[in-house]
Amino acid sequence: MKIAVTGLGAVSGIGLNVSGNVESLRRKRHGMARPQFFATELDVPVSEVKLSNAELAKCLNLNAERVYSRTALLGLMAAREALTDSGISTDKMRVGFISSTSVGGMDLSEVFYNDFRTDHNRGRLRMVSQHDCGSSTEFIANQLGIKGFQTTVSTACSSAGNAIMLGARMLKHNMLDAVIAGGTDALCKFTLNGFNSLMILDKEHCRPFDATRAGLNLGEGAGYIVMQRYEDAVREPYCLLTGYANANDAYHQTGCSPEGNGAFKSMSEAMTVASLQPSDIDYINVHGTATPNNDLSEATAIRRIFGDSVPFSSVKAFIGHTLGASEGIEAVYSALSVKNGYVYPNLNFKSVDPNIGLSPETEFAEGRNIRNVLSNAFGFGGNDTSLIFSKID
């Protein structure tokens, strides 16, 4: 059974829709700047979506009197674009919504806590009512008119990849006719302080795979794809989702094994599901966070499978590490890579790390003959997910 990708939607620090994201990638226009929509003492760059919550709500034609988590607003913007792009109707077929997030509505919870910690009789409870990760999923599904299956996946940075994998499996087992899957995450103090405590934030613009890399930059956004069985597609699909796998090396709570065992397993198993050999992969959208551990571990796994010949790049110097949304956004990029032959530039790469020995793509390209794209999303605890997007024969 062929699983087709029929709709795309994305919002990030470099664009409010899919076309805006692609144009920024083409022009090497990143989204990094100091935070402007929440207060922090940390002097680090982040990739924020360039609209306030009020502006996002206005764009979405939502009631200005209500309070919405930023995670929910970003997710609705991307999911609505993907649904419209697909041409499907939520009231005429079994449509599921599988969304992922890591922070949920914590941006609002932080506002509540500022008042509550000084006086337990203060604080607006509506600020914590959206704290749970599932709250944004329910809100988006209701706004889209999805009354059937909906669920939330939260496995750190591999969340959206796992949401897409679950959706594909449900389609294969005829449990749904169409599924909108991906993820959404907003920046907030909790995640910024948390990554700072791990000492993996770069105070400068991050440099994935470069010998001088010193850590990651965080970002926010949302990305969703619509999947259907190929024969049910209303419009011409972008590509097929042919392979997917999740593996766990369980090496460390926040780090990957030096040998890249989890990454090796997830990439290898995804190719097995897709019935592909390493030589069939034409481009890898790597996880590429720019931390010393992640890039070395992922590169080690890539060399174990592909040697040193496969083109690859990381987009996280553009959009930051968007956590639970990362593979949602990057799945959109990967589908377009197959459809249009896109290869995305790995910003800020200048010098090869001798421990890695690989050089990523540094220029935007289009029109290449790309048959299969491998897209990686690796999370805390070694929860590693790989997806394969393939050209339609």
Neighbouring CB atoms inside 10 A of 357's CB total 11
Per-residue H/E/C for the chain = CCEEEEEEEEEECCECCHHHHHHHHHCCCCCEECCCCCCCCCCCCEECCCCCHHHHHHHCCCCCCCCCCHHHHHHHHHHHHHHHHHCCCCCCCCEEEEEECCCCCHHHHHHHHHHHCCCCCCCCHHHCCCCCHHHHHHHHHHHHCCCCCEEEECECECHHHHHHHHHHHHHHCCCCCEEEEEEEECCCHHHHHHHHHCCCECCCCCCCCECCCCCECEECEEEEEEEEEHHHCCCCCCEEEEEEEEEECCCCCCCCCCCCHHHHHHHHHHHHHHCCCHHHCCEEECCCCCCHHHHHHHHHHHHHHHCCCCCEECCHHHHCECHHHHHHHHHHHHHHHHHHCCECCCCCCCCECCCCCCCCCCCCECCCCCCEEEEEEEEHHHEEEEEEEECCC
- Report pLDDT for 379: 79
Pairing of strands 32-33, 312-313: unpaired
User: Can you tell me which residue has the tokens 């749904």?
Assistant: 176
Q: Which residues are catalytic?
A: 157, 287, 321
User: Can you tell me which residue has the tokens 């949304």?
Assistant: 325
- Report pLDDT for 119: 60
- Report pLDDT for 122: 62
Range of the domain at 33: 3-390
Work out the angle at residue 69's Cα, subtended by the Cα atoms of residues 376 and 123, and round it to the nearest 5 degrees: 135
Give yes or no for a contact between 184 and 221, defined as CB atoms under 8 angstroms apart. Answer: yes
Residue 386 and residue 271: Cα distance in Å, rounded?
A: 9
Q: Residue 210 phi/psi, 5° resolution? A: -75, 150
Neighbouring CB atoms inside 10 A of 65's CB total 6
Work out the angle at residue 51's Cα, subtended by the Cα atoms of residues 50 and 57, and round it to the nearest 5 degrees: 155
Number of domains in the chain: 1
Pairing of strands 312-313, 283-285: parallel
What is the domain-level CATH number for residue 258?
Answer: 3.40.47.10
Cβ-based burial of 178 (10 A; exposed 0-12, middle 13-18, buried ≥19): buried
* Positions of the chain with pLDDT lower than 50, given as ranges: none
Taking phi first (over 0 means left), then psi (-120 to 50 degrees means alpha), and beta for anything else, what does residue 270 get?
A: alpha
Rg over alpha carbons for the chain, rounded to the nearest Å, is: 20
Residue 89 has which token pair? 């109707």
Residue 387 and residue 244: Cα distance in Å, rounded?
A: 4
pTM above 0.75, yes or no: yes
Give yes or no for a contact between 327 and 344, defined as CB atoms under 8 angstroms apart. Answer: no
Residue 300 and residue 314: Cα distance in Å, rounded?
A: 15
